[in-house]
Structure 1
Amino acid sequence: MRTIPAQRITEAVAALCIEANTHLPADVEAALQAARASEPWPLAQTTLGLLCDNLTAAGEAGLPICQDTGMACVFVELGTDVHIEGDFEAAIHEGVRRGYTDGYLRKSIAADPLRRGNTGDNTPAAITVHLVNGEGCTITVAPKGFGSENMSRIGMLKPADGVEGFKQFVVDTVRQAGSNPCPPVILGVGVGGSFDKVAYLAKKALLRPLDVPNPDPYYADLEKALLEEINALGIGPQGFGGRTTCLGLAIEQMPTHVAGLPVAVNVSCHVTRRATARL
């Protein structure tokens, strides 16, 4: 049995909050640069150039990539042979508090969904824990801005809707969102499970690097087909037109009830942020 002090969890989460908000993952940045090089529409290419310049400026100055530093979504893969010495969830919340305070990141969490009021430190975090074998602990912080989160959708389709109904739901989500989520977007798509589980699958899909396809060839082909169909919509960067509406998408699937076809699309903008530490 391996022991990890709660203080180490706090320190890791604090550092990840700052890193995720100031540096774009390599796969996302590469996709953005590739889109800039291949985009034929002049206005769209110029817009993509400005987005790339923003990334460079943020990295050089150590400033946030986006003014919306998001809700801190924290994903943990915790080994069953690990003992956390101290309060695990409290350690994560404290890490978010320190990261957003020490990093001078915007605090955006309302204390109550209806009565509002800012918590002042961007806590609480949205924590998801998955138990795995071994003595490891992997933490990923994925700040999620709500300009794109508000464009996300969940649908309880009928089994008879099939793959065509599934594809239409995904494409319609992007069409209805238009320029609101600050395109080009990245999509996390969940299919299967239950009402609550499919939303988790969609969020989890955003953690997969853009250059890593679904391991199931059937879903890998679906990812490619959907990407082509979405980019044919012509929404383009910031809604100015062009063929770069979506930089990439990932599908996560799981078994579901015979009478159901749950689908969820988690929309993220071009600054899809995540940072990971392995303790």
Structure 2
Amino acid sequence: MREIHVDEIINAVEKLCINANYYLNNDIECGLEKSAAQEKSPIGRDILEKLVDNAKLAREANMPICQDTGMAVVFIEVGQDTHVTGGSITEAINEGVRRGYKEGYLRNSVVRDPINRVNTGDNTPAIIHYDMVQGDKIKITVAPKGFGSENMSGLKMLKPSDGIEGVKNFILSTIDQAGANPCPPMIIGVGLGGTMEKAAYLAKKALLRPIDQHNKDEYYNNLELELLDRINGLGIGPQGLGGTTTALAVNVEVYPTHIAGLPVAVNVSCHATRHAETAI
């Protein structure tokens, strides 16, 4: 049994909060550059080039990519051969978020209650997803999520008879209705199957997959490519000003479901789909 003190978790989460908000992931930056070279709209191409410039400036100046530094979503894989000492792992994660947002001069965007909207002042609590895995390490991924895009996400409990066409139609209508609101080009996570909450979780987790990596299953690989092509055909374009780059990627994740159900969730994210990870 390997012991890990909570201080290691706090320090890791603090750094990840800052890194995720300052440094755009390489696959996304490359995707923006590739899209800029292919974009048919002059305005759209100029916007994409400016997004690349913005990412480079943020990295060089150690500043946030975007003013909305998001609500901290934390995926944590805990090895079953580890023992966390010195306190609560949940409290450690929140303390790391608290310190990271303070030290990184990141905007505090969390309110204590959804109706009585008083800011907590430190961007906590985080949204934490735990997963027990084999081994003696703890893997932590911090994915700050802005709500300009989060608000445009959707979930629908389809009937099995709706089939794949019903799934496609729901995804396309969700993106069409989102329009310019998520600051396109978007990255779109799709969760299929499970239960209502499992589909939403899959859609969120799908955003962590690099945009240049497709689903390993050939059927869903082809579905991702088809959806991306059809979404880019909507003409929404960069920042909603028209063009051929509405999305950079569609990532689909699936899970077994009930014989009577076909849950589908769409988690919409802007081009700055921020996430950073480390292992302790």
TM-score (norm 2): 0.99
Deviation at 1:211, TM superposition (A): 1.3
Q: Secondary structure at the match of 1:109?
A: coil
Q: Is residue 2:115 matched to residue 1:114?
A: yes
**Whole-angstrom distance in 1 between the partners of 2:133 and 2:28:** 27
Counterpart amino acid of 1:47? I
Q: Is the 8 A contact 2:183 2:238 kept in 1?
A: yes
Aligned to 1:191: 192
Q: Write out aligned runs for 1:253-272 (5 A).
A: 253-272=254-273
Q: Output one character per residue of 1:145-195: Cα deviation in whole Å (capped at 9) or x when no partner.
A: 000000000000010110011011111111000000000000000000001
1:196 shift after superposition: 1.0
* 1:150-189 equivalences in 2 (<5 Å): 150-189=151-190
**Secondary structure of the corresponding residue to residue 53 of structure 2:** helix
Cα RMSD over matched residues? 0.6
1:48-81, CA deviations, whole angstroms, 9 ceiling, x for partnerless residues?
A: 1111111111111100000000000000011110
Residue 83 (structure 1) shift: 0.6
Q: Which whole-Å CA distance do the structure 2 matches of 1:27 and 1:249 have between them?
A: 14
How many equivalent pairs are there? 279
Q: Partner of 2:202: helix, strand, or coil? A: helix
Partner AA of 2:62 in structure 1: G
| Partner SS for 2:223 | helix
- Structure 1 residue 228 displacement after superposition: 0.3
SS of residue in 1 equivalent to 2:113: coil
Q: Which residue of 2 aligns with 1:27?
A: 27
* Deviation at residue 84 of structure 1 after TM alignment: 0.7
Q: Which residue of 2 aligns with 1:104?
A: 105
**Aligned counterparts of 1:232 and 1:16: Cα–Cα separation in 2:** 36
Hey, what does 1:67 align to over in structure 2? 67
Deviations 1:87-134 (A, max 9, x none): 100000000000000111000000110001000000000000111111
Q: TM-score, normalised by structure 1?
A: 0.99
Q: What's the offset of the Cα at 1:37?
A: 1.1
Contact 2:76 2:140 in 1 (8 A): yes
4+ residue segments displaced more than 6 Å = none
Q: 2:237: which partner in 1?
A: 236
- Aligned position for 2:78: 78
Measure the CA separation in 1 of the matches of 2:46 and 2:29: 16
1:207-233 Cα offsets, whole Å, 9 max, x none, are 111111111111111000000000000
Partner of 1:222: 223
* 1:202 equivalenced with 2:203 (yes/no): yes
Q: Quick one: which amino acid aligns to residue 239 of structure 1?
A: G
Equivalent-residue separation in structure 1 for 2:52 and 2:96 (angstroms): 29
Rounded Cα–Cα distance in structure 2 between residues aligned with 1:274 and 1:238: 21
Alignment-derived partner of residue 39 in structure 2: 39
State how far apart, in whole Å, the 2-side matches of 1:5 and 1:29 are: 35
Counterpart position of 1:145: 146
Paired residue type of 1:156: M
In the alignment, structure 1 segments of 5+ residues that lack a partner are none
Q: Which has the higher mean CA deviation after the structures are superposed, 90-99 or 53-62?
A: 53-62
Q: Which runs of 5+ in 2 are unaligned?
A: none
Aligned AA for 2:161? Answer: A
Deviation at 1:40, TM superposition (A): 1.6
Does structure 1 residue 213 correspond to structure 2 residue 208? no
In structure 2, the residue matched to 1:132 is: 133
